[in-house]
Amino acid sequence: MTWPYISIVIPTLNSQRTLTECLESIKTQVYPGRVEVIITDGGSYDDTLKIVKEYGAKIYRNKLITAEAGKALGYKKANGEIIGFIDSDNVLTSDHWLKMIIKPFVEDKEIVASEPINFEYRKNDDWLTRYFALLGMGDPINLFIGWYDKYSQITDKWTGLNIKAKDWGNYLTFFLEKDIPTIGANGFFIRKDKLDKYPIKDYLFDIDVLKYLSSREKVKIAKVKVGIIHLFSGNISSFVRKQRRRISDFFFFSRKGFRSSNSNSIRIYWGLFKFILATLLIFPLLLQMIIGFLRKKDIAWLFHPIACWLTLVVYSVETVKLPFINGMLDRKGWKQ
């Protein structure tokens, strides 16, 4: 069995709080093939670059700063047959994690990409990290749209879309059709020759890659039955800042023509309507919170109604400000 050469791309920007744990989990991997780690740094002024040098990863300066620009740069510098995108706040959950995530590529040449099926829950993590691991996504709006790709304790599913998957024991496989989950981040691996078909310039928007490819050919995906840790470094104000960045960047890059449109706008608008109604009424959020708590008892669930309300307020404010803003949200002072 021949194992492919892997290039792992990690964008960074003041990532010292999480980067050591991330790189350590990669260093300890028992993988029978070659692995290179590529760091694309957006101008860190903390100890990020010092940590990178300690682990011997390749470093490139990301002059455009954003993670999407860092992914595009890392892809262009990569030498591997498989490109993996891991965030600086991701931690691999076992020494054989990489071997498990790559195994579908080895066993099935039709596989275009693979990723883990859930966010790993650890009871000793910070409460916000635990909440997002239990929710299965970083944005609660996606729960109402059904547009997510990690297992959620609320729905007891890894996606809210109608996906017909085949179970092979250690992983599921399925072909992308009209509705495409938000696959592309937090441990996403893809064949380089397939990624070469995507028109990458200065930015690589991971969840748009599979939309583009599936519009031109059949795309087979593997969801591997492993988790990945997604550390949320910060507090409620950090959550608000990330939500501002998320929606502001979407508006900015969509206007610039860098983002592809979603093929199922009816689902999105219906999901947004349900989210707004549930948030205003409160009771549906409390019901979701109780369902989640019954499946996994953790006081972090108390943040769920708050997360939805904060998201509604932030997205509403940023939407109203849209006609008066021409640039991208400033990254000054950004850190993990």
> What's residue 334's pLDDT?
53
Question: What pLDDT, in 10s, does the model give residues 23-44?
Answer: 999 999 999 999 999 999 999 9
| Residue 87 backbone dihedrals phi, psi, to 5 degrees | -80, 160
Find the range with the poorest average confidence among 133-147, 155-169, 224-238, 299-313: 224-238
Residue with tokens 């099935």: 108
> What's residue 234's pLDDT?
76
Cα 110 → chain centroid:
23
Give the best-scoring range by mean pLDDT among 148-152, 182-186, 268-272: 148-152
> What's residue 201's pLDDT?
85
Split at pLDDT 50, 70, 90, the class of 326 is low
> What's residue 280's pLDDT?
97
> What's residue 52's pLDDT?
96
pLDDT higher than threshold 80 for residue 264: no
Find the range with the poorest average confidence among 68-82, 159-173, 248-262, 264-278: 248-262
Find the range with the poorest average confidence among 90-104, 201-215, 274-288: 201-215
Mean pLDDT computed over 94-104? 97
Domains and CATH numbers, the chain: 6-324 (3.90.550.10)
For residues 116 and 226, the answer to whether their CB atoms sit within 8 Å is: yes
pLDDT higher than threshold 70 for residue 331: no
Question: What pLDDT, in 10s, does the model give residues 46-59?
Answer: 999 999 999 999 99
pLDDT higher than threshold 70 for residue 327: no
- What whole-number distance in Å separates Cα of residue 14 and Cα of residue 44? 5
Mean pLDDT of the chain: 91
For residues 127 and 303, the answer to whether their CB atoms sit within 8 Å is: yes
Residue among 94, 124, 114, 129 at smallest CA distance from 24: 94
Split at pLDDT 50, 70, 90, the class of 3 is very high
pLDDT higher than threshold 60 for residue 316: yes
Mean pLDDT computed over 82-86? 98
- What whole-number distance in Å separates Cα of residue 42 and Cα of residue 45? 10
